[in-house]
Amino acid sequence: MSKNVKMKDIADKLGVSIVTVSKALSNKQGVSEELREKIKKIALDMGYKTNNINNKDSKYTYNIGVIVAQKYMDVENSFYFTIYNNIVKHLSDYNYYAILEIIDRDKEIENIIPNIILDKRVDGIIILGQMEEEYTKTICQQNIPVIFLDFYDRHFSVDSVIGDNIYSSYAITNYLIEHGHTNIGYVGNIHSNRSILDRYLGYSKALLENGLQINMEFIIDDRDANGAFYKFDLPKSLPTAFVCNSDKTAYYFIRYLNEIGLSVPDDVSIVGFDNDIHAKISTPPITTVQIDINKMAKKCVANIIKKITSVDEKIDNSIIHGNIIIRNSVKTLGYR
């Protein structure tokens, strides 16, 4: 989006004079309400920068609510902090502001509507990360535009922006196979959220396509169904490599392996997902998948603005592809 949109650009797009655009954006007389709203909508869509669009007479608050479960916002979860910061940055292109509301577990279970919705402080809602289905349903029933970010749910007719979890996990599993690994495990509770499940599906697809067995003893949970982490329960014999559902899981899994006397990658190879801080501070640094967080946030912001300014706008799922970041956590056993 251009950051240098001028009144002339808006006027040319609508076939009106610059004076008309100026009057509409400054709420002066001489412009019909219908045309005024049309001009403001086009200005917003084009990213025109002016404080005059945001005023008490407008039907817009120029705020977007970002709702996220407390479990995603712990100090170690750099992924969601980073994506929120990118949302804030891209909203500024539309003269919009973000209002973050963190939902604790009790509020989510008791189905309490977020304050930013009750107080009518926002024009739209971004739900960042999967939440309880009933709570998500409650938010979606509040007659306000909603976008899901970093998850989707087939039970709701709601637009979403997600990373390509299935293909990216498929690709990084194939990376292990290409480096000679034929016994590969997966670390992550597939019942915890859809992202972990999708990454498991990509892992399974890679094994099946290469004629390799999915050994259920090698599927290790890292957390309970509510997302709380707990100690890893390893089988008696280990595969030569594991695909971990996130870099945070991979980081703690490597530490646990070290505690029981195993070395990565000499004894076990490890790959992760997200390319967050855990992949970089780990010893060794972790080979992982990077999804373009900035691109996800930018697409999400563009989509929610479209839904606000065009009530019937239907966008569907937007999928952001990932790429492999190669570091030092994989040992080559010999190419197939």
Give 272's contacts (C-beta < 8 A, 6+ positions apart).
244, 246, 247, 249, 250, 251, 278, 279, 286, 287, 288, 289, 329
Position 49 scores a pLDDT of 63
26-84 per-position pLDDT tens digit: 777 778 888 988 888 888 888 776 555 555 446 788 899 999 999 888 766 778 999 99
Position 55 scores a pLDDT of 52
Q: What is the mean pLDDT of residues 135-161?
A: 93
Q: CATH for 63-163+293-321?
A: 3.40.50.2300
Contact criterion met (CB below 8 Å) for 157 and 190: no
Q: Is residue 2's pLDDT more than 60? A: no
Position 58 scores a pLDDT of 62
The residue extents of the domains of the chain are 1-59, 63-163+293-321, 165-290
- When comparing pLDDT for 31 and 128, which is higher? 128
- Nearest to residue 78, comparing CAs of 262, 213, 304, 277? 277
Q: Is residue 178's pLDDT more than 90? A: yes
Domains 63-163+293-321 and 165-290 share a fold: yes
- The CATH label, of 3.40.50.2300, 3.40.50.720, 3.30.2010.30, 3.30.360.10, for the domain at 165-290 is 3.40.50.2300
CATH architecture of the domain with range 1-59? Orthogonal Bundle (1.10)
Q: What is the mean pLDDT of residues 308-328?
A: 87
This model's pTM is above 0.85 = no
251-264 per-position pLDDT tens digit: 999 999 999 999 99
Q: What is the mean pLDDT of residues 141-166?
A: 93
Position 153 scores a pLDDT of 86
**Gyration radius from the chain CA atoms:** 23
Helix (H, G, I), strand (E, B) or coil at 163: strand
Q: What is the mean pLDDT of residues 302-314?
A: 83
Alpha carbon 33 to its chain centroid, in Å, reads: 38
Q: Which stretch of DSSP H or E encloses residue 307?
A: helix 293-309
Dihedral-angle region of residue 275 (phi above 0 means left; psi in -120 to 50 means alpha; beta otherwise): left
Q: Is residue 1's pLDDT more than 50? A: no
219-233 per-position pLDDT tens digit: 999 988 776 777 899
Q: Is residue 300's pLDDT more than 70? A: yes
